[in-house]
Amino acid sequence: MKTPDCDRFYIGGEWVAPAGASSVVPIIDPASEAQIGTVTLGSVADVDRAVAAARAAFPAFSATDPGERAALLRRIAELLDERAEGIAQAITREMGCAIGFSRAAQVPFGIAHVRAAIEVLDRFDFLRRQGTTAIAREPIGVCTLITPWNWPLYQMTAKVAPALATGCTMVLKPSELSPLSAQIFAQVLDDAGVPAGVFNMVMGAGPDVGAALSRHADVDMVSITGSTRAGVEVAMAAAPTVKRVTQELGGKSPNILLDDADFANVVAPGVASAMRNAGQSCSAPTRMLVPRDRLAEVEALAVAAAEAMIVGDPADENTLMGPLANRPQFDKVQAMIEMGIAEGARVVCGGTGRPDGLTSGFYARATIFSDVSMDMRIASEEIFGPVLCLVPYRDEEDAIRIANDTCYGLGAHVQSADLDRARRVARQIRAGQVHINLPAWDAHAAFGGYKQSGNGREYGAFGFEEYLETKAMLGYFPS
């Protein structure tokens, strides 16, 4: 089955052809390495058209009643529910995510962001009294939304939903490496009746379309999810116009197994968390910190968990881990595994090359390194693949030190039989989100990073407020 080519942009409420000269790149199925379509990349001219449409639509949309915006978001959520299977299939085709995970996580978690935005909007106070002063929260304006390929729908809704809820207009630049789900998403918004110009979408590469959107004088805010390198480039491009920039960037999250944890029940879920989505998650807990005297025990449990993972065709419902999303990512993961071996880390599972029986596709082996120290690159750099580092520690204080010994601070995990102890350790971790004892995911929990993992927060009320300005009107309420 050939995928339709992605050769139109959504601007001003219409699907339009590129404004000028544009390049066309192939869409590659990561499971077969075959071309399944093409995507047309935009230019500065397309950016200018999209921003102009968003700017023209802002006065009317920013003045809409919150109830009207909530109704719009409900229609979007309903249409996403109706088309969930098609979106799941698209994500599996374009980035190799196992179809079971696309259905169970990629799509429903994405829809959950829309529902969370509705819940926040329904109770949000846009004007509140403070003595004789009124504090107004107003939409920031035209927003550039830059999203990655690893969680396509999830990241689009995490930005678009709160932007719509607050009354902003926007230009979405999804990753050119995951265009199929983006096309469906844009069609959903059109079918839901988003007013012309409120939502616009231009495909393109970061150095071209992303940079043009970031520096554009008529853009009031940029929200980017991507690598730390990309976040820095966006911030630099945005700086001359002093616009707001929120960044959700890289991570090297620790998973601290305190010595009183039930290892038989926490190691396997820790391995699964590190390797879900083939390890292509910025918050994946890819450093498992374990008591030195119990390293062998953890190794055995971790290897058993990794070897039980079914790696193969992502369209097969029995598959737990599909291929990596693209050739550059496959090559990077292979190079980092080779680096770990060269650095002296001990491979206890996996290694370089494809899993046995797979001769093509961007498949990587579920790999576990042990005896990893923080001076090794595999312990300090984001690999973005199914690679887990077992890092031994001496005592609780040493575990906290190691957990914080990173330029990142996106996520962390703590496992302990003593909840008060786990809470105490969690409070000392320099990260934006900490999971204590394998909790359920929460669409309203603030998500974002300390240090080089970014600025600002997403999800729930925290992400909602990033799209608002604060205005104080003194004397609004005369005494």
Catalytic residues: 248, 282
**What residues pair up with 256 in beta bridges, in sequence order?**
289, 414
Q: Hey, how many other C-beta atoms are within 10 angstroms of the C-beta on 323?
A: 28
Q: Determine the Cα–Cα distance for residues 56 and 269; give it in Å rounded to an integer.
A: 49
- Phi and psi at residue 162, to the nearest 5°: -70, -30
- Contact (Cβ atoms closer than 8 angstroms) between residue 367 and residue 350: yes
Q: Determine the Cα–Cα distance for residues 474 and 479; give it in Å rounded to an integer.
A: 11
Three-state SS string across the chain, please?
Answer: CCCCCECCEEECCEEECCCCCCEEEEEECCCCCCEEEEEEECCHHHHHHHHHHHHHHHHHHHCCCHHHHHHHHHHHHHHHHHCHHHHHHHHHHHHCCCHHHHHHHHHHHHHHHHHHHHHHHHHCCCEEEECCEEEEEEECCEEEEECCCCCHHHHHHHHHHHHHHHCCEEEEECCCCCHHHHHHHHHHHHHHCCCCCCEEECCCCHHHHHHHHHHCCCCCEEEEECCHHHHHHHHHHHHHHCCEEEEECCCCCEEEECCCCCHHHHHHHHHHHHHHHHHCCCCCCCEEEEEHHHHHHHHHHHHHHHHCCCECCCCCCCCCECCCCCHHHHHHHHHHHHHHHHHCCEEEECCCCCCCCCCCCCCCCCEEEECCCCCCHHHHCCCCCCEEEEEEECCHHHHHHHHHCCCCCCEEEEECCCHHHHHHHHHCCCCCEEEECCCCCCCCCCECCCHHHEECCECHHHHHHCCEEEEEECCCCCC
Q: How far apart are the first and last CA of the chain?
A: 70
- Contact (Cβ atoms closer than 8 angstroms) between residue 324 and residue 177: no
Nearest in space to 451 (alpha carbons), one of 385, 386, 392, 380: 380
- Contact (Cβ atoms closer than 8 angstroms) between residue 255 and residue 270: yes
